[in-house]
Amino acid sequence: MGMNENVSKPLDRLSVELAGDMDRVNALIRERMASRHAPRIPEVTAHLVEAGGKRLRPMLVLAAARLCGYQGNSHVLLAAAVEFIHTATLLHDDVVDESQQRRGRPTANLLWDNKSSVLVGDYLFARSFQLMADTESMQVMRILANASATIAEGEVLQLTAAQDVSTTEDTYIQIVRGKTAALFSAATEAGAVVAGADPAVQQALFDYGDALGIAFQIVDDLLDYGGSTTTIGKNVGDDFRERKLTLPVIKAIARADEAERAFWERTIGQGRQDEADLATALEILRRREALEAARADAIAWAGRAKAALQAAPDQPLRRILADLADFVVSRLS
């Protein structure tokens, strides 16, 4: 995330607010990523876990639980479990996408091999379910098992929808729920559940995480057509070159004339691209106001996230979570 001093505040404030809890989460992550028999496991995990990720998902767990007045220890277990699921999906994603870089460093599949990434990912999935079992909450297990299924389903959907220019916005949102929002909403909902919050508050925090996650992913997809290498660690046009049907392109295709439709069909549908095509794509996206329309959607989802919080306890953390929703979209300006 490209953060200037001003807009980074909500994440910084969350970090300060949750510093004690996060120290315990980080200690637990280091403890549980160990393996007595297979040293390859902590090597691969550490490469990713210690690469300076934002720990956004565990912070969402902790914030939701604290917001609901939780004083116990289960939210720490849960936060570590959520980070392990996230790390496992990153390892498997990099195999699936044949990625070379993640967070500005070579990926595990490149440093070791695909085998290690697949198997260490499986190990971290299993470890996350062990951590959840330690919370002794069957509802937490169910929330995270459901989220894991939605994540995998979304990834498969993305695999089969990729390069299909008839992909709709509905399908895109389903894919985004899988890729990003399912773990955000599971994190905030499960945080409320371990805190013993009543069902309306659990639902409010689920809705917050869901909308925040969707806003977050739309912004990510927009940055791919407008950010710079330095701010997001990937190059403008990566999604275009990989023929990913993201929201700006889906909107542009819906508004396309015959020539534009032929352009998208050739470049995304059939993958026949030359060097000038990215510039043409950007030109069409601008002409059809597709970036603006996607940006408006992201802002609307951030608004839904903030609105959902109205049903959550009125505590200082609520203010930070609301600001976080604005922050996510502010990356665009």
Which residues of the chain form contacts with a copy of itself (CB under 8 A)? 35, 37-41, 89, 92, 95-96, 114-116, 118-123, 125-127, 129-130, 132-133, 136, 138, 141-142, 144-146, 148-149, 151-157, 159-160, 171, 174
Decide whether 124 or 329 has the Cβ nearer to a copy of itself. 124
Minimum gap (Å) between residue 77 Cβ and a copy of itself: 13
Supply 65's token pair: 């639980």
* Amino acid (one-letter) located at 26: N
Decide whether 151 or 299 has the Cβ nearer to a copy of itself. 151
Taking the C-alpha atoms of residue 157 and residue 82, their distance in angstroms, rounded to an integer, is: 22
Decide whether 23 or 136 has the Cβ nearer to a copy of itself. 136
Which residues make beta-bridge pairs with 106? 101
Taking the C-alpha atoms of residue 96 and residue 2, their distance in angstroms, rounded to an integer, is: 26
Residue 118 near residue 92, CB atoms below 8 Å: yes
Decide whether 119 or 311 has the Cβ nearer to a copy of itself. 119
Minimum gap (Å) between residue 118 Cβ and a copy of itself: 5
Angle at 87 between CA 77 and CA 69, to 5 degrees: 30
Taking the C-alpha atoms of residue 303 and residue 287, their distance in angstroms, rounded to an integer, is: 27
Taking the C-alpha atoms of residue 128 and residue 61, their distance in angstroms, rounded to an integer, is: 14
Minimum gap (Å) between residue 232 Cβ and a copy of itself: 24
Minimum gap (Å) between residue 297 Cβ and a copy of itself: 20
Decide whether 151 or 317 has the Cβ nearer to a copy of itself. 151
Angle at 277 between CA 271 and CA 278, to 5 degrees: 100
Minimum gap (Å) between residue 12 Cβ and a copy of itself: 33
